[in-house]
Structure 1
């Protein structure tokens, strides 16, 4: 708080990048807190929250007649301009943002202050979800060819590698240590991925070969890697750098392997540029996106001049080559300079092309944990989490996500997750809301005890999994077919122009399909419950025929609309309920002794069983009657009543009818939807969720509750509901109970 000189400024103008007739600017109040910059426009009921850690740069523009302008660019591609009336207030805000956006100590980052007070997970969730050793066991390691080495259990062999390293079974400790000394940063060749045909992908850093240096141990280790794959006599060594860059490194005592010393090895160079070129390329792409009055020619020229799509194509081309070689039974060793940027990109992308597990939500999280976090991508330096050398910053991970998006465009049914999932991960990498993407290697994260002091991003993504489901996903076990033709490389508008409201479609097809997917799934569960409930509670006639025709006999072709199935179920429930009321009235004059006898009759007597179930003397609590208990994070945690029946099909019929009246069969459409019920504007790519009870669409703030949805089979557990439905479903008098 010592950096905040002016916490509140009124009459601040927010200038839109693409002004229209209805919104050229808005006026409101600017707030500065310890973690966020907040702009509130009371007229439009619009709030803009920006984490200080997301601010990339703040520029103070020349004073104009309307005030001092502050141009702020963010790491997640938001560019905004504030006009502050008074020069002193503008200067104070400028100085405060410079200091708050560039913390000098890692403990000042937002993840150490984030409490997840409105979420449904704890600080323990997510950290132990992924085990690198278990992931290698899924691949079949250890086996006769690969062993788990303990040489790095205390990070003595390589400080930036994980404790868990898999190496050739035939390589002894002397060879392993010798190879580590010959590789840059001691990053020796280790296993990254093992394919089903025994071909492998190994990763390392460049050798310290210079012009004529050699290392017998390193040569033997690569030969041992080659021998782990008996199906191929060759081993490919892929250097992801341009050849000229590798030759320059030779003059510095590094370089690449000498083919004279390494037998049965074939070398391949690819033209992926270094971090400095990529950083400049992204800046040129952002400049093209921020043109004030872009024309077709100027925008396309700017995108082409940035070279960004050319770099994306180069990474994809290298990864496809690696995947094809491994699929054909040839093992590969990959390196760049130090093995934590281009090597991480190509290893992980090739694995996604080869392995369908990595195309699932859990698999993609495992891939990032293995190839990026465990093997030491420098997130602190590349993302600029703390104040340091700006020359170390580079959009390496963003580029990786861009390539994944390119593959998703060619294979829209192959991935379990959607575009929003990739964008969310990119945001979490830079905003440091969670401790997952903090530090440069596994050792540093363990030293800071991040799993005890911060929340895990995997817990958040799992809690919001339904927002990231791809409704077109079809599980397949084959390798992906990916084209690297220039016509298939696209500009990712959803990421780089995400905040430009004028360049997006009115309704996103992905949002519509996802909503329909969940809606149909809920209707199926509702129909299944009603079918089973009717079947269980129908009374047989004396001649053995049922009173009502079973729902399963309904011919769907005769129904003019799908919701009529549910409507017919409701009509039958009401008819059954009326019949039960008549039965209860006819038995009302029974004496107390007869009632006691009825209560102990054997369960095989169906008539007496129904009398017991529907008796008003001993009502059975509804399965959705929940206790709310505040945990340490002040979250609403749902606790089942100890007397709650496990079988919801045994509920009284009047209770079922009451519960069904709460659930809406029709869900609100996204068409022409501009604002939430709280008047919050629903911007493109903002989170818009349906309430699983009433079916209306709400913003993320208004649908921050979870509870079970009754009258579904199987019961829908912990679904998002609005606050009004939360009160009705849980029988609570307050949403904060």
Structure 2
């Protein structure tokens, strides 16, 4: 298929552009295979390059016959970055042509037609982001021990289609045991290492067991879990579903591990049902939140009521609460934990990821966060292509569309808000991750799993987002000048009053953030200047000490000479 076949009107003059915080502009519209470009001949006026992939909904409004302008109408573009753009077009035929072209181009289903496969960076790739965070590298210290090994049992993705080819498993467990355990778990997602805490406690994740209404057991699965624990020790199974929802799953052949067969493990239920079930409720909550943020006409009281009724912050609170429980089990009790929901995807990965940010200071650095996303989301098979095909504006939503990754980023933002000096990166990096996960010139978030990415050769035909973010000039813009490395766990307040709306994301196209950003930059510059001053003072003190030592040495030498003269 040629892109030209989808573009009816490639260029159109006299389009009036309405965009946030700018006056209407008379612009020229150009439609290419991947971008909608709006530009004006005036040098001081903005130019917009909009990826078709970023468009969530295309609406058209035809001017009525009683209108002052009976011809043409408007096209409303509602984007996955939450921005809304309006294009006024004077001719009805041109309006329909542009609408149809954008509708086609923003709904391409074949990933190989997307922009990452056509994008060619204009800068030198200093390091390949696709090879930075391989399991062999990330778990190098553990693999050097006698406890863990890399298994290639899933090298052709036949044991578990959503897992990666290289998996970290207990050294005492052979591949036949893994294969048997995979057949006992939903989607083949058998218990796998997620994180090992400093005290030796281990965090695992999996999907639900398949009991087939008969409480059937899997000795192989039990062997894997019990190999994590020593004799006479206990572990926790944190089920991200409520008891009632887990019982509903049992009626369909799933459920929970039978207590009689997992005697060393104690089960705790955390009710993240709507996240675990992926039934569209979380996306509906996100939609209500964005609708409330975009409605500037309602009163403050009504707006707060709409914010509360959206339940978005409740989802964030519950997710962070569950992650804190996991972190406490690992850190405070020194007990290993298995986390799972139904499919071992949304709520499971969300909880294990946030728990690691709480416990592991490395995850609060730029590269550490990238590594975490690689391990827990990309290599763990989170289906970005399915989840992010649609967002809050689209009229055509599927139960597979869900903003779980955004919930994860919001949880980090809440931690960042409560511990602003414990993160190496600013919240702007989280905003960038949100955008790139939905639309990007980079291939990092394409596909639903590693098998998908291997099939379409992502690593050979596209550029990694990490290669871009880790360039020195870009990295500098992401760094938090208030950062003071904190090697301990950070324990957030999970009280309702402690949670804040992420204004820099949800309100950035509604309330002009320019003054806020200038103020923040001023504060950051003052902090940086103070750090530079302290560094200079420290250097001067060291130089002074060195001079004093040299002076003392000279005096000692003079005294020695004088003594020699007197004694001679």
- TM-score relative to the length of structure 1: 0.67
- After superposition, residues 193-592 of structure 1 pair within 5 angstroms as 193-227=195-229, 229=230, 233-272=233-272, 273-274=274-275, 275=278, 276-327=280-331, 328-384=333-389, 390-463=398-471, 464-502=474-512, 505-516=515-526
Residues 299-329 of structure 1: CA distance to partner in whole angstroms, max 9, x if unpaired?
2122111111100111101000000100021
Structure 2: distance between partners of 1:129 and 1:173: 26
**In the TM superposition, what is the alpha-carbon distance from 1:62 to its structure 2 partner?**
4.2
Q: Is the 8 A contact 2:157 2:165 kept in 1?
A: yes
* 2:83 is the alignment partner of 1:82: no
Structure 1: distance between partners of 2:38 and 2:533: 41
Structure 1: distance between partners of 2:467 and 2:214: 50
Residues 362 and 17 of structure 1: CA distance in aligned 2, closer, same or farther (over 3 Å): closer
Aligned with 1:391: secondary structure?
A: coil
Aligned with 1:451: secondary structure?
A: helix
Alignment equivalent of 1:12, drawn from 5, 10, 15? 15
Q: Is the 8 A contact 1:240 1:269 kept in 2?
A: yes
**In the TM superposition, what is the alpha-carbon distance from 1:213 to its structure 2 partner?**
2.9
Q: Is the 8 A contact 1:170 1:224 kept in 2?
A: no
Aligned with 1:213: secondary structure?
A: coil
Structure 2: distance between partners of 1:114 and 1:522: 39
**In the TM superposition, what is the alpha-carbon distance from 1:277 to its structure 2 partner?**
1.0
Aligned with 2:414: secondary structure?
A: helix
Structure 2: distance between partners of 1:129 and 1:516: 34
Aligned with 2:512: secondary structure?
A: helix
Q: Which residue of 2 aligns with 1:618?
A: none
Q: Is the 8 A contact 1:281 1:308 kept in 2?
A: yes
Structure 2: distance between partners of 1:80 and 1:244: 44
- After superposition, residues 105-184 of structure 1 pair within 5 angstroms as 105-117=110-122, 119-121=123-125, 125-138=128-141, 140-184=142-186
Structure number with the bigger relative contact order (C-alpha 8 A, sep ≥ 6) is 2
Q: Is the 8 A contact 2:39 2:48 kept in 1?
A: yes
Residues 116 and 16 of structure 1: CA distance in aligned 2, closer, same or farther (over 3 Å): closer
Structure 2: distance between partners of 1:317 and 1:193: 19
- TM-score relative to the length of structure 2: 0.86
Q: Which residue of 2 aligns with 1:102?
A: 107
Structure 2: distance between partners of 1:397 and 1:474: 27
The two structures, once aligned, show a CA RMSD in angstroms of: 2.8
Aligned with 2:408: secondary structure?
A: helix
Structure 2: distance between partners of 1:172 and 1:130: 25
Q: Which residue of 2 aligns with 1:47?
A: 47
Aligned with 2:88: secondary structure?
A: strand
**In the TM superposition, what is the alpha-carbon distance from 1:516 to its structure 2 partner?**
4.8
Ranges in structure 2 where 5+ consecutive residues have no aligned partner? 541-553, 555-568
Residues 253 and 331 of structure 1: CA distance in aligned 2, closer, same or farther (over 3 Å): same
Q: How many residues are matched?
A: 524
**In the TM superposition, what is the alpha-carbon distance from 1:84 to its structure 2 partner?**
1.4
Alignment equivalent of 2:5, drawn from 2, 5, 13? 2
**In the TM superposition, what is the alpha-carbon distance from 1:391 to its structure 2 partner?**
2.9
Structure 2: distance between partners of 1:3 and 1:287: 31
Alignment equivalent of 2:189, drawn from 182, 187, 201? 187
Ranges in structure 1 where 5+ consecutive residues have no aligned partner? 531-543, 545-737
Aligned with 2:214: secondary structure?
A: coil
Q: Which has the higher helix share?
A: 2
Aligned with 1:390: secondary structure?
A: coil
- After superposition, residues 674-685 of structure 1 pair within 5 angstroms as none
**In the TM superposition, what is the alpha-carbon distance from 1:513 to its structure 2 partner?**
4.0
Residues 526 and 483 of structure 1: CA distance in aligned 2, closer, same or farther (over 3 Å): closer
Task: Decide which moves more: 210-219 or 443-452.
Answer: 210-219
Residues 461 and 515 of structure 1: CA distance in aligned 2, closer, same or farther (over 3 Å): farther
Q: Is the 8 A contact 1:408 1:415 kept in 2?
A: yes
